[in-house]
């Protein structure tokens, strides 16, 4: 994500860097629609629900979500392009997407859109709803004019790309390389966006979705189709380049004009990525005159108007052809569904930094063996607390507030907060290369140093992890190197059970002066003594386990029982026997090792016939990790591998290009973290550095650290951080602490954090993502009411906000934020409800609740001259009294109300019915329905019988994000609707979460904020979001709040009103209210703002407010607060003509009174309800209202 991080090149030094390019010569493949097999609902569904054939799943509603855009098109061949609901079992619930239903047979789902600034990060970028929010709903029958220019270029500055997770859910197991129509690109051909190019291409060897489009992949069957005036650039050859050399040689350096698709990053374009045309393409305004432009609102853009680097605004589509038969949905068991089990992984965004290292090393050296942080571990202090320790080569520490603490080479931090532990004062006069937690609150330290706390301890020491004092039981332990040409160092420390292993460059170890030295070259093992009365036992050298390596040991990892010790390094032999760079040790003085490592590259001149005596430096390994069923190795030539323990044969390999070697491995749970100096791509399943494409199954982007499944080896692309160093030395240590936070250390200068790019020097922290499901809703009830299935359940208490998913029969059909849901009735429908949080973790569902069977309509009696209770009498008042009429409603049309029955209110019965004018015994119900109605579109979150009512979509006392500050948010972003919040924090303050009313000072507040009196201003800035259905988004929205002292409100990036400000101009942090008012009084005088439906959209809508006080003085704390309710207004019914005339007559006596603005409010205020303000052109006025709360 170099475009986001401001990166100016990879900076990697171990290997030469080349910039790969996606070069496509492509066109639309005119795929013909294929026949869709008839969908046969499962037996369980047929038994419990009305028949739903293939046409039912047309994507028009959440309930009718299609398996794909393709299925929606087959269900309705006349379907137009727009927003459709799709659902596969890989999704937690139906979701809206943009479907192009009018190009090449339709069925295309849009996965990305924009001009320059695309990312290769698996997470994608931007607000996914923007890909469909401007489109017509699928149910509207309208179409989006694809050739029509988008006047505001909605995604030009920052493209919108669906996450890889979302795209994988849409594919539902379909491999991208098996998509019959490949990848489709729709690219602007002129600056005004009125001419477009259609292109398709297949991507081979891609087992799962990836956004790594710059990588050297195999592309095939490329076609391109242009409008007539550009037809000379059409390409229909459908050529294939199976050897993987196409990108490098087919189009490289050649000008194919509009056939060319170059996806790359270039220094001249600030490393922003996009889909470029070939050099000197005749880009124009109308398709005839060249007019290359660098205007920001142009559909063709190149910085400084350089034609050879012009980006075309591009939309990207896929066409998975999934149908209901492909989903394999079975009836949900009576017990319900299980909770989600998302994998425990870190967030891909670094946590806000509190401390960082200096950019100067303590030693003054700057190379890959002298990086800021090279070792990380955590020690349990035994009192319920712990500390995370970092070690490396740094001069001092710096806080986010600018404080410098002169703590060099090693430091301790609180894992809960990331705060520096200032009481840990250990001094080490050289570089720290290794740290390891030991029992009894001990910390083992290795590296290149001579003095610890001023006393001589060369290269190895064990200290008390609380005080930093040298541990007495380890005080006499030391290492020694008697080879004068070597530089003694301890590079790795590993504890397994009662044993502690050290590795590096040394020849002898001591346990005490009296015991004498033990010759154990480059590796040694100590035995921990048994503690006595809380005092750690005496440490001893395991003299029955000594080894001799002829090269430096870089990594050690022992099996759980210490029967196997795996070693990686620069050595070529073990105890005189062949062990080239790796070893599996099972006994004392073992000669050689059976482990034959398989290298990714063998250089020219290598002595492969006699590796034991090899003198050429190649194939060395930096780390090794026992992982239960297998053992992992990482090292030179860009290779990471997993080996089977029994056979010592590789079961998984991956190559990184460009960039390079793996330098650290860390096991946490079932995940291996591999750190490297790799900054571009990882070719999964490949083992050939020089030709990684041929053997790869998929290529993912990687930025210095990646996560892998410890057993299968599969890279886990959901963890996709973006980290950058200044020197290209990469990450040398990774560690997951007891809170689940991943710490990485090395040559780090920047990372993409939760609030944007940040200067995380030396190390960065990635907190655990939320994978905990909410609690299961309780007390689900289903009743039949007014021909609706009405579901209710108890609210779920959770640390964050939750929504509820409604499941019926075999799938999720809707979600809602409330604890009630209504949908058209279905006999014996099987309902379940589960909770889902904002991280898409969902609870186990409730057990089944079955909808009751609709009562069989009972024929009504007919009054006759001699009244009798005749069950066969007809219910039709216009029919003759027929004593032979059937009692079975299915046997007589007159016994079942027709769909065309009147919706007028029934007239009162005549108390004295006449025989010649028979009438029904009971009035007909209003708006009768057939006994077996066809399925109707559900009104998600807006049941049909609520459609004509006001609906509160944001109640009072809701949770908001807020801050109280003397400074305004960056006005560049202040009212901008960008739900990923480019809204920047103020002076390192974070947004807080609180329940309204939120305020400062006295008053009836749910969230009272304490602020320093030295401030002169105490403005409140806050935002929240609401979810609107299509129905609700078509109505006006009324916002009811109050002015304490002045308030301005914005919706979706636009101010919709303000009151009690003394200005209509731009609001600054220094703007004051026109007057001050007591909080209690303000709360009695609400103000409303009406937001027209044109400013709303289906889905997520952002509401932002700011509140200012009427005074601004030091040492004076004003009373400022806010609360807000949002109400979706019911549409106004057309008034009958006779009522209009009556109203005119009633209004006549007051025709000369002063006009007063009238505003619909959430509470349907009337004249006797006290006093309320309404908005007229953004200014508050007053209307009667007694109270703003029901």
Q: What is the pLDDT of residues 1100-1149, one digit of tens each?
A: 888 989 898 877 655 456 788 999 999 999 886 655 555 555 555 444 44
Rounded Cα distance, 975 and 1067, in Å: 11
DSSP state of 118: E
pLDDT of residue 1178: 39
Residue 96, pLDDT > 50, answer yes
Determine the 3-state secondary structure of 1073 from DSSP.
strand
Rounded Cα distance, 1093 and 1095, in Å: 5
Which residues are paired to 1122 by β-bridges?
A: 998
pLDDT of residue 86: 98
pLDDT of residue 494: 98
- Taking the CA atoms of 205, 209, 214 and 219 in sequence, report the sign of the dihedral they define: positive
Closest CA to 1029 of 942, 1090, 1126, 936: 942
Residue 34, pLDDT > 90, answer no
1047: Cα separation from own chain's centroid:
33
Name residue, tokens 């590259």: 601
* 3-state DSSP of 888-951: CHHHCHHHCCCCCCCCCCCCCCCCCCCCCCCCECCCCCCCCCCCCCCCCCCCCCCCHHHCCCCE
Q: What is the pLDDT of residues 814-840, one digit of tens each?
A: 999 999 999 999 999 999 999 999 999
| Lowest mean pLDDT, pick from 18-27, 37-46, 1015-1024 | 37-46
- Looking at every residue in the chain, the average pLDDT score rounds to 79
Beta strand pairing status for 1007-1008 and 998-1000?
A: parallel
Top-confidence residue, 996 or 15: 996
Structure tokens at 678: 């790799």
What's the Rg (C-alpha) of the chain? 36
55 confidence band (pLDDT: 50, 70, 90): confident
597 confidence band (pLDDT: 50, 70, 90): very high
Q: What is the mean pLDDT of residues 49-74?
A: 86
| Lowest mean pLDDT, pick from 197-211, 413-427, 504-518, 942-956 | 942-956
Q: What is the pLDDT of residues 243-272, one digit of tens each?
A: 443 443 233 344 566 777 888 887 878 888
889 confidence band (pLDDT: 50, 70, 90): very low
Q: What is the pLDDT of residues 287-318, one digit of tens each?
A: 444 345 556 678 888 777 555 567 889 999 99
* 3-state DSSP of 656-691: EECCCCEEEEEEECCEEEEEECCCCEEEECCCCCCC
pLDDT of residue 33: 28
Q: Which residues make Cβ contacts (< 8 Å) with residue 42, sequence separation at least 6?
A: 329, 330, 331, 810
- Contact predicate 3/119, CB 8 Å: yes
Q: What is the pLDDT of residues 547-568, one digit of tens each?
A: 999 999 999 999 999 999 999 9
- Contact predicate 526/494, CB 8 Å: no
Rounded Cα distance, 1168 and 1148, in Å: 21
pLDDT of residue 1023: 86
Peptide bond into 658 cis (omega under 30): yes
972 confidence band (pLDDT: 50, 70, 90): very low
pLDDT of residue 1079: 82
pLDDT of residue 1084: 84
Closest CA to 356 of 753, 767, 766, 759: 759
DSSP state of 1035: S
Category of 862 on φ-ψ map: left (φ > 0), alpha (ψ -120 to 50) or beta: beta
Rounded Cα distance, 187 and 578, in Å: 59
Rounded Cα distance, 870 and 888, in Å: 13
| Lowest mean pLDDT, pick from 2-6, 437-441, 755-759 | 2-6
Q: How many CA atoms, within 13 angstroms, populate the side-chain half-sphere of residue 764?
A: 33
Residue 139, pLDDT > 70, answer no
Closest CA to 524 of 482, 486, 485, 480: 480
C-alpha angle with apex 124: 120 to 127, nearest 5 degrees? Answer: 150
- Contact predicate 297/289, CB 8 Å: no
The count of other CB atoms within 10 Å of the CB of residue 641 is 24
Rounded Cα distance, 388 and 386, in Å: 7
Phi, psi of 227, rounded to the nearest 5 degrees: -60, 165
Q: Which residues make Cβ contacts (< 8 Å) with residue 120, sequence separation at least 6?
A: 1, 211, 212, 213, 214, 273, 701
- Contact predicate 690/316, CB 8 Å: no
Q: What is the mean pLDDT of residues 8-25?
A: 35
Phi, psi of 881, rounded to the nearest 5 degrees: -70, 110
pLDDT of residue 938: 43
Determine the 3-state secondary structure of 965 from DSSP.
strand
Closest CA to 1120 of 1087, 1077, 1089, 1173: 1077
Which residues are paired to 738 by β-bridges?
A: none
Top-confidence residue, 1096 or 221: 1096
Q: What is the mean pLDDT of residues 733-738?
A: 98
Determine the 3-state secondary structure of 307 from DSSP.
helix
283 confidence band (pLDDT: 50, 70, 90): low
Beta strand pairing status for 830-837 and 802-808?
A: antiparallel
Q: What is the mean pLDDT of residues 658-685?
A: 95
Q: Which residues make Cβ contacts (< 8 Å) with residue 688, sequence separation at least 6?
A: 600, 601, 655, 694, 695
Rounded Cα distance, 767 and 418, in Å: 11
pLDDT of residue 21: 38
Phi, psi of 1143, rounded to the nearest 5 degrees: -65, -40
Closest CA to 105 of 188, 39, 29, 174: 29
Q: 108: part of which helix (H) or strand (E)?
A: strand 108-114
Q: What is the mean pLDDT of residues 1058-1072?
A: 78
pLDDT of residue 532: 74
pLDDT of residue 574: 98
Q: What is the mean pLDDT of residues 326-335?
A: 95
pLDDT of residue 955: 93
The count of other CB atoms within 10 Å of the CB of residue 5 is 19
- Contact predicate 503/495, CB 8 Å: no
566: Cα separation from own chain's centroid:
37
Q: What is the pLDDT of residues 203-234, one digit of tens each?
A: 989 999 999 998 888 888 888 888 887 777 77
1013 confidence band (pLDDT: 50, 70, 90): low
pLDDT of residue 827: 95
Top-confidence residue, 837 or 967: 837
Structure tokens at 282: 């005749």
Phi, psi of 1028, rounded to the nearest 5 degrees: -115, 135
1038 confidence band (pLDDT: 50, 70, 90): very high
pLDDT of residue 20: 37
Residue 154, pLDDT > 90, answer no
The count of other CB atoms within 10 Å of the CB of residue 1106 is 25
Rounded Cα distance, 1015 and 1010, in Å: 12
pLDDT of residue 52: 66
Q: What is the pLDDT of residues 567-592, one digit of tens each?
A: 999 999 999 999 999 999 999 999 99
Closest CA to 320 of 513, 68, 6: 68
> What are the C-alpha distances in Å from 930 to residues 822, 854, 889, 893, 1148?
19, 11, 11, 10, 46
Rounded Cα distance, 625 and 850, in Å: 53
Percent of the chain topping pLDDT 90: 54
Name residue, tokens 């093992």: 525
Q: What is the mean pLDDT of residues 593-603?
A: 95
Rounded Cα distance, 399 and 527, in Å: 40
Q: What is the per-residue DSSP string for 358-414?
A: -SS-SSS--BTTB-SEEEEEEEE-SSS-EEEEEEES-S-EEETTS-EE---SEEEE-
Rounded Cα distance, 703 and 751, in Å: 10
| Lowest mean pLDDT, pick from 64-73, 703-712, 1148-1157 | 1148-1157
DSSP state of 235: B
Domains of the chain: 2-7+20-36+105-313 (no CATH), 355-766 (2.130.10.10), 781-854+936-941 (2.60.40.10), 948-1128 (2.60.120.260)
The count of other CB atoms within 10 Å of the CB of residue 893 is 10
Rounded Cα distance, 805 and 845, in Å: 9
Give the burial string for 724-738 (b: 16+ CB within 10 Å, else e). bbebbbbbbbbbbbe
801 confidence band (pLDDT: 50, 70, 90): confident
pLDDT of residue 227: 85
Percent of the chain topping pLDDT 70: 74
């Amino acid at each position: 994500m170099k475009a986001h991080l401001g990166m100016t090149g990879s900076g990697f030094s171990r290997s030469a860097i080349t910039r790969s390019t996606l070069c496509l010569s492509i066109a639309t493949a005119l795929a013909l629609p294929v026949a869709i097999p008839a969908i046969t609902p499962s037996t369980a569904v047929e038994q419990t629900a009305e028949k739903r054939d293939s046409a039912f799943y047309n994507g028009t509603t959440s309930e009718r979500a299609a398996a794909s855009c393709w299925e929606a098109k087959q269900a309705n061949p006349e379907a137009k392009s727009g927003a459709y609901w799709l659902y596969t079992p890989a999704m937690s619930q139906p979701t809206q997407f943009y479907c192009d239903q009018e190009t090449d047979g339709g069925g295309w789902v849009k996965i990305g859109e924009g001009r320059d600034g695309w990312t290769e990060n698996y997470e994608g970028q931007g607000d996914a709803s923007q890909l469909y929010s401007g489109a017509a709903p699928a149910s509207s029958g309208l179409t989006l004019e694809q050739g029509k220019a988008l006047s505001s270029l909605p995604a030009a500055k920052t493209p919108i790309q669906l996450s890889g997770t979302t795209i994988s859910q849409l594919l539902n197991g379909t491999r991208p390389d098996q998509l019959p129509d490949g990848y489709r690109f729709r690219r602007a051909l002129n600056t005004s966006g009125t001419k477009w190019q259609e292109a398709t291409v297949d991507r081979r060897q891609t087992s799962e979705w990836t956004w790594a489009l710059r990588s050297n992949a195999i592309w095939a069957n490329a076609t391109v189709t242009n409008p007539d005036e550009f037809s000379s650039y059409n390409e229909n050859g459908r050529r294939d380049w199976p050897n993987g050399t196409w990108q490098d040689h087919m189009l490289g350096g050649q000008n194919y004009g509009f056939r060319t698709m170059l996806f790359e990053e270039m220094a001249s374009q600030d490393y922003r990525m996009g889909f470029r045309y070939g050099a000197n393409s005749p880009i124009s305004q109308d398709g005839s005159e060249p007019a290359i432009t660098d205007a920001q609102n142009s559909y063709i853009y190149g910085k400084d108007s350089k034609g050879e680097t012009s980006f075309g605004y591009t939309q990207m589509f896929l066409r998975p052809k999934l149908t209901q038969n492909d989903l394999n949905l079975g009836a949900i068991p009576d017990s319900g569904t299980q909770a989600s089990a998302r994998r425990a992984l870190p967030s891909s965004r670094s946590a806000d930094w509190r401390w960082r290292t200096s950019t100067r090393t303590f030693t003054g050296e700057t190379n890959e063996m002298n990086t800021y942080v090279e070792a990380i571990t955590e020690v349990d202090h035994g009192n319920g607390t712990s500390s995370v320790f970092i070690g490396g080569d740094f001069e001092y520490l710096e806080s986010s507030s600018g404080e410098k603490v002169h703590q060099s080479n090693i430091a301790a931090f609180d894992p809960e907060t990331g705060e520096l532990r200032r009481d840990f004062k250990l001094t080490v006069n050289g570089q720290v290369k290794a740290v390891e937690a030991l029992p009894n609150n001990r910390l083992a330290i290795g590296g290149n140093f001579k003095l610890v706390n001023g006393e001589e301890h060369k290269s190895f020491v064990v200290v008390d992890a609380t005080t930093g004092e040298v541990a007495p039981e380890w005080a006499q332990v030391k290492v020694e190197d008697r080879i004068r040409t070597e530089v003694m160092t301890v590079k790795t420390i590993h504890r397994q059970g009662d044993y502690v292993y050290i590795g590096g460059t040394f020849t002898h170890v001591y346990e005490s002066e009296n015991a004498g030295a033990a010759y154990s070259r480059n590796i040694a093992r100590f035995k921990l003594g048994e503690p006595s009365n809380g005092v750690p036992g005496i440490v001893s050298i395991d003299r029955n386990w000594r080894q001799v390596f002829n090269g430096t040991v870089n990594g050690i990892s022992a099996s759980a029982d210490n029967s196997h010790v795996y070693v990686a390094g620069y050595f070529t032999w073990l105890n005189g026997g062949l062990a080239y760079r790796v070893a599996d040790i099972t006994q004392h003085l073992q000669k050689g090792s059976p482990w034959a490592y398989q290298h990714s590259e063998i250089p020219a001149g290598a002595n492969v016939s006699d590796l034991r005596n090899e003198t050429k430096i190649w194939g060395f390994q930096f780390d090794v990790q026992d992982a239960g069923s297998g053992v992992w190795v990482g090292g030179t030539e860009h290779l990471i591998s997993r080996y089977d323990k029994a056979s010592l044969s590789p079961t998984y390999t991956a190559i990184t290009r460009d960039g390079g070697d793996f330098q650290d491995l860390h096991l946490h749970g079932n995940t291996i973290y591999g750190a490297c100096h790799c900054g571009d791509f990882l070719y999964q399943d490949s083992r050939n550095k020089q030709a990684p494409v041929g053997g790869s199954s998929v290529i993912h982007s990687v930025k210095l650290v990646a996560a892998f499944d410890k057993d299968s080896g599969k890279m886990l692309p959901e963890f996709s951080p973006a980290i950058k160093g200044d020197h290209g030395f990469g990450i040398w240590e990774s560690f997951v602490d007891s809170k689940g936070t991943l710490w990485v250390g090395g040559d780090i200068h920047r990372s993409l954090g939760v609030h944007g790019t940040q200067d995380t020097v030396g190390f960065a922290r990635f907190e655990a993502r939320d994978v905990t499901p909410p609690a299961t809703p309780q007390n689900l009830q289903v009743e039949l009411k007014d021909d609706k299935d009405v579901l209710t359940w108890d609210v779920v208490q959770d640390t964050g906000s939750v929504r509820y998913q409604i499941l019926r029969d075999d799938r999720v059909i809707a979600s809602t934020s409330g604890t009630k849901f209504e949908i058209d009735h279905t006999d014996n429908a099987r309902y379940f409800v589960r909770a889902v949080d904002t991280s898409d973790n969902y609870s186990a569902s409730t057990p089944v609740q079955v909808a009751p069977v609709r009562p069989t309509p009972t024929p009504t009696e007919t009054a006759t001259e001699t009244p009798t209770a005749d069950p066969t009498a007809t219910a039709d008042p216009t029919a003759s009294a027929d004593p032979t009429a059937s009692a079975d409603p299915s046997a007589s049309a007159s016994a079942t109300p027709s769909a065309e029955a009147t919706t007028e209110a029934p007239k009162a019965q005549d108390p004295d019915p006449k025989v010649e004018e028979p009438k029904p015994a009971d009035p007909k119900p209003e708006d009768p329905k057939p006994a077996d109605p066809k399925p109707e579109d559900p009104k998600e979150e807006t049941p049909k019988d609520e459609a004509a009512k006001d609906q509160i979509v944001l109640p009072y006392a809701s949770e908001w994000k807020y801050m109280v500050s003397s400074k305004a948010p960056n006005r560049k972003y202040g009212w901008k609707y960008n739900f990923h919040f480019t809204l920047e924090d103020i002076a390192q303050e974070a947004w807080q979460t609180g329940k309204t009313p939120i305020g400062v000072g006295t008053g009836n507040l749910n969230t009272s904020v304490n602020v320093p009196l030295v401030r002169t201003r105490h403005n409140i800035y806050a935002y929240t979001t609401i979810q609107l259905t299509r129905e609700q988004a078509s109505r006006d929205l009324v916002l009811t709040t109050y002015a304490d002292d002045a308030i301005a409100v914005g919706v979706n990036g636009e101010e919709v009103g303000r009151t009690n400000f003394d200005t209509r101009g731009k609001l600054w942090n220094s703007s004051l209210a026109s007057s001050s008012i007591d909080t209690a009084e303000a709360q009695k005088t609400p103000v409303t703002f009406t937001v027209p439906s044109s400013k709303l959209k289906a889905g997520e809508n952002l509401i932002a407010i700011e509140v200012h006080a009427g005074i601004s003085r030091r040492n004076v704390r004003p009373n400022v607060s806010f609360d807000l309710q949002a109400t979706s207004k019911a549409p106004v019914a057309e008034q009958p003509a006779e009522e209009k005339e009556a109203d005119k007559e009633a209004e006549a006596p007051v025709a000369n009174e002063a006009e007063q603005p009238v505003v619909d409010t959430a509470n349907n205020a009337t004249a006797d309800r006290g006093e309320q303000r309404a908005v007229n052109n953004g200014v508050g006025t007053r209307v009667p209202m007694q109270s703003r709360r029901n």
